[in-house]
Structure 1
Amino acid sequence: MTPELISPQPDTPSHIQLITQELERLYPDARYDLDFTTPLELLVATQLAAQCTDERVNTVTRVLFQKYRSAQDYAQVSQEELEQDIQKITFFRNKARSIRAACQYILDHYQGEVPQTLREMVRLPGVGRKTANVILGNAFGISEGFIIDTHVGRLVRHFGWTTQEDADRAEQELMRIVPQSDWLPLAHRIIYHGRAICNARKPKCAQCTLQQLCPSSTVKP
């Protein structure tokens, strides 16, 4: 893509639309990279993924999900046994504790089923807005919020769509300026772009097709 004339001002509808369209062209098949077949599996995988690679999580859950099929399975297993099953994951002790607590809460309050609203989801131990948005969007097709991970937070600041460092405040600003139908697919595409081109330590601005739209680009006309 080589945008012509003068790039529109950041955070305007036309600027957002141009970036959204280009990211869609670049990453038409962008998706959440954790493997799952049920909302509960996605809840567990997302909790495991904090500060851990998706590849390692998928390797562990390939076996884990054969053993644990329900919230009751996780709630009833001992802390020590679950730790053993996920020991290849970073911070596995704390994550085992959070998974067991979340599943017990699901049993106690939601009849063993993962809830389908943001308000209910964030009541689960170890679940914040980002995790809740991931599960609602990818498991249920519900967009109540905008997924803000480290890639998304960094890139939307580069784009000039927000100056907020705080994820919750950045999310509220994005929800005001980005069409709701784009919240989930755009978040996935921004994550892909952050990994492929706009990494934190050494962004590849010279290779980026968004360079003429990005106020933070090191490539100047």
Structure 2
Amino acid sequence: MNTAEAVSVLTELNRIYPHTREDMNFLKFENPYQILIMTILSAQTTDVTINGLRDELFSCYPDPPALASADQIEVERIIHPAGFYHTKAKNIIGTAKCLCENFGGEVPQTIAELVTLPGVGRKTANIVTNHAFGNAVGIAVDTHVGRLSQRIGFSDNSDPDKIEQDLMVLFPKEWWGEINYLLISHGRAVCTAKKPACEHCAICHHCRTYQEKHQTQ
């Protein structure tokens, strides 16, 4: 797929899923510290779950110093609904300690610095730089973005980092901050993992998987 067709796909999705910048934040946060911690916790669970435990977590640990000195068992109790709570508690406490020790208690604003924090990979770092600081220097590739990128034909890769690189080459930079929201929205509403509703898909005629399926019928 070339850039012109790829942009036309996003333009159509942008029409279907109108939004403000605030709408693009599936996680409801108030500051960079919160979006960082919530994104670490959101791995392999739903945004609804993480939003549901936000108030208790940040009332107990409102800033990095508070979380850095937290009792891990108590943190595990609060974040238990998120799953993998032993590892996640260890990671967010470790991240808070790193913020205090290495960054003056502030969330760093670069990908290179963010990925030095426990539990933070490129996806999390991209979400933080985009949503907390309004700086889309990359593209967050979660399961929805990865699935749709392969199905539609944006990428032939399965590795999230390689998919991100393909998307960054394919799309002009002004679209980078929108891609995650638009593909997640379409992945949840229409192009689901188990049963994509191709008959209701407004971009099906641009979709490689749809075209290949109908060529064989």
CA displacement, residues 89-111 of structure 1 (integer Å, 9 cap, x when unaligned): 21111100000001101111100
SS, match of residue 195 in structure 1: helix
1:197 matched to 2:190: yes
Equivalent in the alignment of 2:4 = 14
Equivalent in the alignment of 2:69 = 76
CA displacement, residues 60-115 of structure 1 (integer Å, 9 cap, x when unaligned): 11221222111011100111111122122211111000000011011111000000
- TM-score, normalised to structure 1, is 0.92
Deviates more, 1:27-36 or 1:71-80: 27-36
Task: State the identity as a percent.
Answer: 37
1:152 matched to 2:145: yes
Equivalent in the alignment of 1:3 = none
SS, match of residue 162 in structure 1: coil
SS, match of residue 88 in structure 1: helix
In 2: Cα distance, 1:156 partner to 1:141 partner: 23
Equivalent in the alignment of 1:93 = 86
- Return the offset for 1:179: 0.9
More helix by percentage? 2
Q: Please list every run of at least 4 consecutive aligned residues from structure 1 whose deviation after the TM superposition is greater than 6 angstroms.
A: none
In 2: Cα distance, 1:116 partner to 1:216 partner: 37
In 2: Cα distance, 1:128 partner to 1:45 partner: 14
Q: How many residues align?
A: 211
SS, match of residue 87 in structure 1: helix
Deviates more, 1:23-32 or 1:189-198: 23-32
1:39 matched to 2:32: yes
Equivalent in the alignment of 1:5 = none
Deviates more, 1:108-117 or 1:28-37: 28-37
- Give the alignment of 1:37-76 within 5 angstroms: 37-76=30-69
In 2: Cα distance, 1:164 partner to 1:22 partner: 24
CA displacement, residues 144-198 of structure 1 (integer Å, 9 cap, x when unaligned): 1111001101111112111000111111111111111111212111001001000
Any unmatched runs of 5+ in structure 1?
A: 1-9
In 2: Cα distance, 1:204 partner to 1:32 partner: 25
CA displacement, residues 104-135 of structure 1 (integer Å, 9 cap, x when unaligned): 01111100000000010000011000000001
Equivalent in the alignment of 2:105 = 112
Amino acid paired to 2:7: Q
Amino acid paired to 1:64: L
CA RMSD of aligned residues (A): 1.3
Query: Which of the residues 184, 198, 207 maps onto 2:200?
Result: 207
